[in-house]
Structure 1
């Protein structure tokens, strides 16, 4: 037979797990937001470098063509 105390302990255990999981989710969401922001910045830098490379290629004639 299930005892009342066992049910209370189980509920307390589940509530602790819930709190830990919520904290973990919050932490992971913050980390994800940071990584997303960093990725966005890196993609912008990549695009800028690609544009600069293309601009330089337009300005400097290819030695093979000369």
Structure 2
């Protein structure tokens, strides 16, 4: 009996969920994709720059 009651309440709750529209989902996905690409490019540039700086310092002879 508790399981049937739980399933009824679950169906009611699922109907109350405010699902995003397809347009909102596409915009959010595009924003996350662009942000991830930009962040990876920034981190790559920082990594290459720091590698060059540290390599330059390591090759110096005193």
Matched ranges for 1:21-32 at <5 A: 21-32=39-50
Q: Which runs of 5 or more residues in structure 1 are unaligned?
A: 47-66
How many residue pairs end up in the alignment? 44
Instruction: Work out the CA distance in 2 between the residues paired with 1:36 and 1:11.
Output: 37
Instruction: Work out the CA distance in 2 between the residues paired with 1:31 and 1:39.
Output: 12
Q: Which has the larger radius of gyration?
A: 1
Matched ranges for 1:7-46 at <5 A: 7-42=25-60, 45-46=61-62
Q: Give me the TM-score of the superposition, normalised by structure 1.
A: 0.59
The offset of 1:26, in angstroms, is: 1.1
Q: Which runs of 5 or more residues in structure 2 are unaligned?
A: 1-17
Instruction: Work out the CA distance in 2 between the residues paired with 1:34 and 1:10.
Output: 36
